[in-house]
Structure 1
């Protein structure tokens, strides 16, 4: 991240009459239509663009929140008017920064109180500092460009990342016309890079935990290398008004989550929270651990190889939750669905153990990847290939 004093920004917002904008006429995607609906209801204000003007301070500067963070400076950041993706806590925009394509992830929180916002930003900076250090020591961890004070009154700063032309791992594999064996082989290479990154993260003292491993959080570089992104973003202390608790996307996340995260049976990293008197107190946060990362890693392997979400046969997230707590795991894909080699299936099912202590660590998973027969010369994969040929 670039160092120095925070710049002052002017954020140009749409005029009030733009609330009547026709999403169809604008050619908006379904996600953008949803965002327009939220905006029309006064729930979200989409930042159209941010201009480094040097005249008007951002509202959060006046609130003193930027003492905790480093901001992009001497840069011109321009955003698309509507997000291309919406999650339970963020709106994700395409943009341009100094002539380069970027992705800007803007957290919500118009009405968040000052103390909660400070706690969020303080924790955000701590997680970003760990993420920044990790990028300096491991090639399979995606760098980020910094934070930018983009957003509506009372919002938290937006995270700016480089945009990769090949997108995330799931989309990268889906776009290509690969045979069953080719997809399995490339998925294994991607998974090996992720496992290598986890080896580094989990070997730190204390261990660094990602918290949200899935295909969409693995980017593909211009050279085809997998890059793990959004490190530590899962364990931020989200205020209630930053989250759409009942959103489909939020519920769908459980497909990659370890069962102990759902029932709260494990105790993970502590989270800091600022009390009313301004002192910091510790609370148990989202109980992510290296073991929960490995569970998600196993589900991500399944996702990449099959091109389908884990538990894809379960339409509703509540059914997935019930399966998880009962120890039910995804069935081995049929030959028609591509199949999975015997060796890979052993790794996946080991990662899905109900007891986190019984799951392998990242180093073990990475080492097993070199065992012969995991993809090549596997009778199950050969049968799957023949099944595809006769479809």
Structure 2
């Protein structure tokens, strides 16, 4: 990395002459109402072992015509049926998206079938996520590997934002790892659609789903409308976690943390990186991402451009 390139803004200027961004097809949005005419025959799927479970449903390994898939089955009885329905509709926002760094949703039960037990069918990636890798002390997370993961997640965000969707639950536990050690962003159960003209979620379409507090931007903790750069804040915390291999605000009172993040600009503590120029730039990047002012955070497209330039110099 050139010694005189020491700011994110400087790097972005340098990168303009270095790269042509890869273009991914931005598919037309498929509203959940359009799925009412589709029919998913549950008898075509053989459910296998349980892969995971949450408040709204369980995910199973499954086979469909000799192909391995993952099937999320929503609970028929839940303490919060409204939130469960919102989460179901949110996941259908990404129906049939095609991107190398996003878990693909390939089928779902129709709205008419919802009350009989809704299913969402996804490609099967594996059972390992980025949080598991961070927790595994035998796994090395050197600069090149962190850069690779960062670029892949940023590319997923760029595509998501290009489709006018904000994820709102970006964190290592929702980033799956393939057998080839690539990242795929999943769990869009909290995502919301932003207006094309304002870049924020309309007040009439806002969801009660909140995501994980440690990764939520301060404007969301204050009750503000979600915007695309709310995901960039979460991305910054994720980059910090890749470097520190710690859990943000571990064992701290949630309410105290939320108050401090909003009113005192609390953030996770920086690891000591010494005089390493790459690590100093890396810290500056995630610090800009988790800025208290949304307008000063980079966009997902700027992140992709920047990280590609870093990859070029590495």
Q: TM-score, normalised by structure 1?
A: 0.56
Match of 2:94 among 127, 131, 135: 131
Aligned residue runs from structure 1 range 77-96, under 5 A: 77-80=46-49, 83-96=50-63
Residue in 2 that maps onto 1:209: 166
Contact 1:173/1:183, CA 8 A, preserved across alignment: no
Structure-2 residue corresponding to 1:120: 85
Q: Is 1:322 matched with 2:281? A: no
Q: Give CA-to-partner distance per residue, 1:93-121, whole Å, 9 cap, x none.
A: 3444444444332333527999x69x937
Give the Cα–Cα distance (whole angstroms) in 1 for the partners of residues 155 and 190 of structure 2.
Answer: 20
Q: Is the 8 A contact 1:93 1:104 kept in 2?
A: yes
Counterpart mapping for 1:232-243 below 5 A? 233-235=190-192
2: CA distance between counterparts of 1:308 and 1:100?
Answer: 37
Q: Distance in 1 between matches of 2:241 and 2:192?
A: 23
Deviation string, structure 1 residues 349-389 (Cα, Å, up to 9, x no partner): 1011112112111122222224559996xxxxxxxxxxxxx
Q: Measured at CA, do residues 175 and 223 of structure 1 come closer, stay the same or move farther in structure 2, by a change above 3 Å?
A: same
8 Å contact 1:91–1:107 — kept in the other structure? yes
Aligned partner of 2:281 among 320, 334, 343: 343
- Aligned partners of 2:311 and 2:107: how far apart in 1? 43
Does 1:103 find its partner at 2:70?
A: yes
Q: Determine helix, strand or coil for the equivalent of 1:198.
A: helix
1:350-361 map, 5 Å = 350-361=288-299
Is the CA contact 1:148–1:158 (under 8 Å) kept in the aligned structure 2?
Answer: yes
How far apart, in 1, do the equivalents of 2:218 and 2:47 lie? Answer: 41
User: 1:146-195 CA deviation, whole Å, 9 max, x = no partner?
Assistant: 2258xx9946512222332362222245447344xx43421221110111
Answer yes or no: is the 8 Å Cα contact 2:129–2:175 preserved in 1.
yes
Once residues 68 and 147 of structure 2 are traced to their aligned partners in structure 1, the CA distance between those partners, rounded to angstroms, is 29
1:308 CA displacement: 2.5
Q: Is the 8 A contact 1:139 1:227 kept in 2?
A: yes
1:192 lines up with 2:151 in the alignment: yes
Q: Would you say the 8 A contact 2:147–2:311 is kept in 1?
A: no
Secondary structure, in 3 states, of the residue corresponding to 1:231? coil
Give the C-alpha shift of residue 139 in structure 1: 2.2
Q: What's the secondary structure of 1:145's corresponding residue?
A: strand
CA distance in 2, matches of 1:373, 1:77: 42
**TM-score, scaled relative to structure 2:** 0.68
Residues 238/105 of structure 1: CA separation in 2 closer, same or farther (3 Å cut): farther
CA shift in 2, pair 1:77/1:145, >3 Å: farther
Contact 1:102 1:163 in 2 (8 A): yes
Which residue matches 1:225? 182
CA RMSD of aligned residues (A): 4.0
Q: Unpaired segments of 5 or more residues in structure 1?
A: 1-64, 244-249, 268-287, 377-391
Whether contact under 8 Å (2:273, 2:280) holds in the other structure is no
Matches within 5 A, 1:42-81: 68=36, 70-73=38-41, 75-80=44-49
How far apart are 1:335 and its partner, in Å? 6.0
Task: Identify the match of residue 311 of structure 1 among 232, 249, 253.
Answer: 249
Structure 2: any 5+ residue segments left out of the alignment?
A: 1-32, 194-204
**Bigger relative CO (Cα 8 Å, ≥ 6 apart):** 2
Say how many residue pairs are matched. Answer: 265
Query: How far 1:222 sits from its partner (Å)?
Result: 2.9
Q: Distance in 2 between matches of 1:239 and 1:354?
A: 22
CA shift for structure 1 position 330: 0.9
Task: Note if contact 1:147-1:159 (Cα within 8 Å) is conserved in structure 2.
Answer: yes
- Distance in 2 (CA, whole Å) between partners of 1:203 and 1:67 is 22
